[in-house]
Amino acid sequence: MKVLVVYCHPLDDSFAASLRERALIGLSSAGHQVRLTDLYADDFDPALSAWEHVHHLDPPDTKPDIARYVDDLRWCEGLVLVYPTWWSTQPAMLKGWFDRVWVQGVAYHLPEGSNRIRPGLAQIRRIVVVTTHGSSKLVNALQGEGGKRVALRSLRVLASKRARTRWIALYAIDRTSHHQRTKFLERVQRDLSRL
């Protein structure tokens, strides 16, 4: 499978960076073709400009600054998102990647005269999220798990009708032991090797 890993964390020595490495090891050990997008290393601009907002229905080839990201998204059959959950959802940089790259002509199509979009990423058969939360599973459930809904519902409807999703999360990370974190790293590598 062709798998795009999108990683979002500003620090190279973070636990999220360790999760990214374990995900890459797991995917490579299973023989998948892997591309990595590191949004912070790319200095990706998450801000949807006024021009992009006005021209959001224009063809993606009129937006050269997102061309590489569009190519990667169209290429992949599996999408793995690795990020920490901040304020109950994805970091702003990753949310900006959704806003700027999952556009008309790529992630969806809006036929002229229609008010209903059609999925544009039918080749994506798997969406996996690897994330951490500072708060407990209970607190996240009470808050509605906004990030989980975005990743496993909103993105999924733009993928294959048979796309399968997976949520791999470590909750209450601030209160976990070294042993618990090590076990989670092992789980990520094992789960991604079975993708």
Distance of CA 188 to the CA centre of its chain: 15
Residue 89, phi then psi, degrees to nearest 5? -155, -170
Residue 71, phi then psi, degrees to nearest 5? -60, -45
* CATH number for 102: 3.40.50.360
Number of domain units in the chain: 1
The pLDDT assigned to 84 comes to 97
Q: How far apart are CA 126 and CA 164, in angstroms?
A: 5
Beta bridge partners of 104: 108
pTM: 0.95
Work out the angle at residue 150's Cα, subtended by the Cα atoms of residues 3 and 114, and round it to the nearest 5 degrees: 95
Q: How far apart are CA 172 and CA 75, in angstroms?
A: 35
Residue 6: domain span: 2-193
Name the packing angle between helices 92-101 and 67-75 (round to 10°). Answer: 80
The pLDDT assigned to 110 comes to 87
DSSP H or E segment with residue 7: strand 2-7
> CB 145: neighbour CB atoms within 10 A?
20
Residue with structure tokens 């080839």? 61
The pLDDT assigned to 145 comes to 85
Q: How far apart are CA 82 and CA 6, in angstroms?
A: 6
Distance of CA 88 to the CA centre of its chain: 15
Mean pLDDT, consecutive 10-residue segments, the chain of 195 residues?
A: 98 97 98 98 96 90 94 98 95 97 94 90 98 87 84 94 96 95 98 95
